């Protein structure tokens, strides 16, 4: 599609390398939002390509998903497999690479890839790049990453079979990670800085009923202790100020996400006060033909409810908006 005109054609299979042709839609990110955007764009017969660092995104780290309709108690990896299978039905190319920059050329947007050094150009771009895991920021944490400190229970949980671990956090990710780790470890401390969890009550109740899980509310971690590996953590009760040492073999951090603020600012997308991309109800941004869907989206029009189903819905909306944007451009040309 090098003529400069829009042509609504299906994508052609998964290429071994990125071609020089122009796409209708470039989707950056391969989690639920990105994969759903790819599915909808392909169904609209838009020439579509997906570029992602990690196929499935953070969903692959979820040990248990029980809130996606029709697929009860499915693992994150299995759910991603179903998403990918559906997208591949429409022969959407999927490139495993990282987008480092985006520039405007004539009436197209071009994204630059880190690993291949190549560029892909398209008339619209949907960013569904999610967010990164938030760090505790306490002494000893960075030193012991990969030596007992982990941000992914499904990735590293099997390494702690018959050991003692702690999970810090109060949302669904923390609770499901604690429940998963309880199937492997001899004991799981569940640490939360507040007096109530933000997670779904069903997960909270399961954790309370699990004999392997000990819940420590109003508690924060002050230090991760260990020379070559995690040996203990120093915790503090936020109400009494009392501190004590808790001997553990592993620490799993599940305290939320950090948006890709610097990347958005680099490419010119406006962000809100928290660093998320400002989006309109149709997921559009301040840049024409550029959309953001999923956890990285924000602004006054965003209803914050970080769930797989809402990310997928935003991906669908972004694809629909991109389709309508392209149709409007066709009418003008």
Active-site positions read: 152, 155-156
Q: Which residue has the tokens 């998963």?
A: 180
For 238-247, the CB contacts below 8 A with 24+ separation are 238/193, 246/166, 246/189, 247/164
Q: Which residues of 6-34 are buried (b: 16+ CB within 10 A; e: fewer)?
A: beeeebeeeeeebeeebbbbbbbbbbbbb
* Secondary structure (H, E, C), the chain: CCCCCCCCCCCCCCCCCCCCCEEEEEEECCCHHHHHHHHHHHHCCCCEEEEECCCCHHHHHCCCECCCCCCCCECHHHHHHHHHHHHHCCCCCEEECCEEEEEEECCEEEEEECCCCCEEEEEEEEECCCCEECCCCCCCCCCCECCCEECCHHHHHHHHCCCEEEEECCCHHHHHHHHHHCCCCCEEEEECCCCCCCCCHHHHHHHHHCCCEEEECCEEEEEEECCCCCCEEEEEECCCCCEEEEECCEEEECCCEECCHHHHHHHCCCECCCCCEECCCCCECCCCCEEECCCCEECCCCCCCCCHHHHHHHHHHHHHHHHHHHHHHHHHC
CB 95 within 8 A of CB 11: no
Q: From CA 44, how far away is CA 283, in angstroms rounded?
A: 17
């Amino acid at each position: 599609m090098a003529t400069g005109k829009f042509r609504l054609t299906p994508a052609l299979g998964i290429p071994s390398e990125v071609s020089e042709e122009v796409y209708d839609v470039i989707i950056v990110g391969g989690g639920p939002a990105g994969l759903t955007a790819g599915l909808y764009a392909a169904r609209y017969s838009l020439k579509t390509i997906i570029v992602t660092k990690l196929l499935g995104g953070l969903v692959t780290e979820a040990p248990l998903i029980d809130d996606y309709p029709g697929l009860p108690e499915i693992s994150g990896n299995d759910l991603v497999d179903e998403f990918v299978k559906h997208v591949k039905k429409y022969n959407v190319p999927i490139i495993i690479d990282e987008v480092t920059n985006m520039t405007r050329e004539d009436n197209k947007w071009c994204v630059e890839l880190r690993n291949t050094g190549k560029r892909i150009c398209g008339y619209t771009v949907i960013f569904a790049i999610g967010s990164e895991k938030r760090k505790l920021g306490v002494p000893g944490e960075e030193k012991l990453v990969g030596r007992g400190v982990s941000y992914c229970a499904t990735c590293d949980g099997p390494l702690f079979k018959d050991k003692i671990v702690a999970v810090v956090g109060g949302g669904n990710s923390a609770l499901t990670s604690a429940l998963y780790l309880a199937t492997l470890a001899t004991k799981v401390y569940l640490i939360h800085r507040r007096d109530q969890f933000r997670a779904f009550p069903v997960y909270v109740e399961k954790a309370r009923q699990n004999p392997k899980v000990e819940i420590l509310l109003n508690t924060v971690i002050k230090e991760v202790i260990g020379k070559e590996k995690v040996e203990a953590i120093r915790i503090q009760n936020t109400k009494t100020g009392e501190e004590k040492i808790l001997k553990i073999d592993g620490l799993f951090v599940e305290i939320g996400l950090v948006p890709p603020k610097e990347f958005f600012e680099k490419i010119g997308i406006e962000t809100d006060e928290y660093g998320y991309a400002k989006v309109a109800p149709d997921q559009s941004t301040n840049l024409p033909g550029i959309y953001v869907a999923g956890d990285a989206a924000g602004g006054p029009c965003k209803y914050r409810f970080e769930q797989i189903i809402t990310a997928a819905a935003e991906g669908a909306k972004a694809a629909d908006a991109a389709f309508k944007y392209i149709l409007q451009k066709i009418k003008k040309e």
